[in-house]
Structure 1
């Protein structure tokens, strides 16, 4: 109904403008060609009101359903209205880059399907096209128990017994809610996905649904196996997901209670994206139940963290390093007997994760405002700010304190 009002109003306005141009050409060629420019069109209406008034009135009638439709859309779905006026829908059409390697060809419900998001979480494989709350087109396959390693699955139309349920859904431009169809059997499916570190599966994918569903997909598929994202080999805490929050809370509890024996219960429902969250956490720490009320805050540079977290990182034991495969690789050295060059792969995130390794080393801090400060790293204060100390000669010294939100990046100046 809302779409019909908006489109109907636009149609009346366009017809009124076309009629006005035709009347201008009927007056003279000068007015006809001039009416194609908005300033001349206004002048024509003023000078030839008796001739132009019918077309103007007809076009003005279109503003009534157009404004009513926009008002109803603003009341029902203000985010969609904002997206229309901000032209975000144009950016969505142009955005074709995915962080996953998905090379699938085919159709879903008779339309070309080019998913940019894919995940296998809690035994549900989903492929989505579109960035909105409701996907423009989506394929869901309920494979059952979440696999721990590779996933191999072959289904034929005449196979007996329970099979993974396939669901397809699509959202047309004039619809507010998507349509969905469930297919419990009678389809062809081939999956051969192999683990890819740190949290992905990748391999061959082939799906053919019964002819009435007009869905055939085939190609290379890569999916996430959880809702964590990684950057430079470390968890990206700027990504908004419950898995990210659980990772941050578990790391906080391990450092707070100085133990790795932390079992975190399922987090309560939270509303994301957000900047601050108050969360009630249930966990078992060294076999003892713990109930904590935590405040989570998010910054652009550091991502999600527990408020007022000043606990140092846990020391990595040799057993932990061997179990997790985290033994550091030796960096290239000019002299095999010389010390490791800590400047290699240095970053702000590595500095925050292990500040003791860089204590008293010379470094340069760059802020988001474009200023710099150079000196020796003096550690992190109780609020997590980066401290830099610089000798001024003699007994004088200057100290600089940087909030993490102010830091653009840090450069290590010595091995």
Structure 2
């Protein structure tokens, strides 16, 4: 009802303005042209009130439903009213890639490659072209765990040992599932990336795969180091992702407990299509596990925010804390050996691809329904389901059997 009143009021006001301009042109060409330039219409109204009064009365009549509509809107949805009055809806939508500067020459599987997205998260460097559920083309490089500092990687075709793993995926026009190729050696790779605040890496990228793969790329890339998005140097809470929710909850709990040493446990599966979230979260504060209830709400103007948040900002960290958390450059030169940690680049996809590699490792799984299971991974059964063995403390073992489609989160608990 409020929307109809607002629209009706605007139509009456616009009709009155059109009538006023028509009356000005009927008076003279000079007055007509002048009525198109504010504030000359006011002068026309004062000088020719008899001609203009009908149009002015129509505009005044339109103000009545307009004011009533806005009053009703303010009563039941003030956030929407604030978003309308802020004129933020006139701003163009941001690009999906967030304005990343990726300039690559060469070819991917024999064709030019223009990535829309670049990221280096959890040891996986991804350059992706396309934003559908399956990217049109996807280049993935498994790298050592990166802590936010500089990253330098140099690999030559004659190098052997523990090298970064290259994956190529592309989707053909007549296929529903992408083609995939994996390369473990015999390639040339050079990365020289430097951090760009707040959450990007930028630098040189050079990759040449064996001739059979018809892939050679060289130039400059810019990569996200997490899935947060920033606006004017601050986290954009309108970016509707689980990472945004986790950052909001962590920031709120750090300020409310006055503790920087706070680590949030994985969140349950979230429904981000609604306007409110009521969460019961676990966090380690100073190494002690504690439970918190957090209520969040989303609005068009503010995005996601914690309801009732009045916690003050934390003081600036000391120089000792800054030195302790300073990132250290990560370097891999000519296949130089490094400790093998299976948590690097771990994902459900990798587990399904190489189940024998993770046999016997402790895992923690959260299902789509919010249930969790923890135990040792015992491989895949003949139907392709995950088998997790959980010890009952001297009373035998319980087996959790899960379909991959049921798994919302999976975490490796040991190297």
Calculate the TM-score normalised by the size of structure 2: 0.51
Contact 1:120 1:225 survives alignment (8 Å): yes
Post-superposition offset of 1:123: 0.4
- 1:193 aligns with 193
- Matched residue of 1:104: which SS? strand
- Matched residue of 1:157: which SS? coil
d(CA) in 2 for partners of 1:252 and 1:97?
Answer: 28
- 2:308 aligns with 309
Taking structure 1 as reference, are residues 111 and 270 closer, same or farther at Cα in structure 2, changes over 3 Å only? farther
d(CA) in 1 for partners of 2:318 and 2:98?
Answer: 37
d(CA) in 1 for partners of 2:176 and 2:276?
Answer: 31
- 1:160 aligns with 160
Taking structure 1 as reference, are residues 273 and 207 closer, same or farther at Cα in structure 2, changes over 3 Å only? farther
Matches within 5 A, 1:102-113: 102-113=102-113
Taking structure 1 as reference, are residues 102 and 182 closer, same or farther at Cα in structure 2, changes over 3 Å only? same
Q: Tell which has more relative contact order, 1 or 2 (C-alpha 8 A, sep 6+).
A: 2
Taking structure 1 as reference, are residues 168 and 304 closer, same or farther at Cα in structure 2, changes over 3 Å only? same
Post-superposition offset of 1:272: 5.0
Matches within 5 A, 1:210-229: 210-229=210-229
Taking structure 1 as reference, are residues 221 and 317 closer, same or farther at Cα in structure 2, changes over 3 Å only? closer
Post-superposition offset of 1:182: 0.6
Matches within 5 A, 1:360-375: none
- Matched residue of 1:217: which SS? strand
- Matched residue of 2:223: which SS? strand
Check if 1:173 corresponds to 2:173: yes
Post-superposition offset of 1:259: 3.5
Post-superposition offset of 1:96: 9.7
d(CA) in 2 for partners of 1:144 and 1:323?
Answer: 23
Taking structure 1 as reference, are residues 175 and 296 closer, same or farther at Cα in structure 2, changes over 3 Å only? farther
Post-superposition offset of 1:239: 1.3
Calculate the TM-score normalised by the size of structure 1: 0.51
- 1:9 aligns with none
Contact 1:190 1:207 survives alignment (8 Å): yes
Taking structure 1 as reference, are residues 230 and 177 closer, same or farther at Cα in structure 2, changes over 3 Å only? same
Matches within 5 A, 1:373-412: none
| CA displacement, residues 82-109 of structure 1 (integer Å, 9 cap, x when unaligned) | xxxxxxxxxxxxx897511110112111
Post-superposition offset of 1:122: 0.4
Q: Which runs of 5+ in 1 are unaligned?
A: 1-94, 325-415
- Matched residue of 2:189: which SS? strand
Check if 1:235 corresponds to 2:235: yes
Contact 1:98 1:116 survives alignment (8 Å): no
- Matched residue of 1:246: which SS? helix
Contact 1:142 1:164 survives alignment (8 Å): yes
Contact 1:255 1:311 survives alignment (8 Å): no
| CA displacement, residues 200-229 of structure 1 (integer Å, 9 cap, x when unaligned) | 111100111111111111100110111111
Taking structure 1 as reference, are residues 253 and 320 closer, same or farther at Cα in structure 2, changes over 3 Å only? farther
d(CA) in 2 for partners of 1:113 and 1:295?
Answer: 43
Post-superposition offset of 1:121: 0.3
Residues matched between the structures, number: 229
Post-superposition offset of 1:260: 3.3
Post-superposition offset of 1:299: 1.8
Contact 2:194 2:201 survives alignment (8 Å): yes
Post-superposition offset of 1:286: 4.3
d(CA) in 2 for partners of 1:254 and 1:96?
Answer: 30
d(CA) in 1 for partners of 2:182 and 2:258?
Answer: 49
| CA displacement, residues 340-361 of structure 1 (integer Å, 9 cap, x when unaligned) | xxxxxxxxxxxxxxxxxxxxxx
d(CA) in 2 for partners of 1:145 and 1:318?
Answer: 25
Taking structure 1 as reference, are residues 185 and 270 closer, same or farther at Cα in structure 2, changes over 3 Å only? farther
- Matched residue of 1:256: which SS? helix
CA RMSD of aligned residues (A): 2.6
| CA displacement, residues 91-144 of structure 1 (integer Å, 9 cap, x when unaligned) | xxxx89751111011211112110010000000000011111111100000012
Contact 1:140 1:167 survives alignment (8 Å): yes
d(CA) in 1 for partners of 2:317 and 2:140?
Answer: 43
Taking structure 1 as reference, are residues 117 and 295 closer, same or farther at Cα in structure 2, changes over 3 Å only? same
d(CA) in 2 for partners of 1:235 and 1:205?
Answer: 28
| CA displacement, residues 239-285 of structure 1 (integer Å, 9 cap, x when unaligned) | 13332211100122123334433221222343556544444411023
d(CA) in 1 for partners of 2:241 and 2:206?
Answer: 29
Check if 1:150 corresponds to 2:182: no
Taking structure 1 as reference, are residues 261 and 143 closer, same or farther at Cα in structure 2, changes over 3 Å only? closer
Post-superposition offset of 1:177: 1.2
d(CA) in 1 for partners of 2:289 and 2:318?
Answer: 26
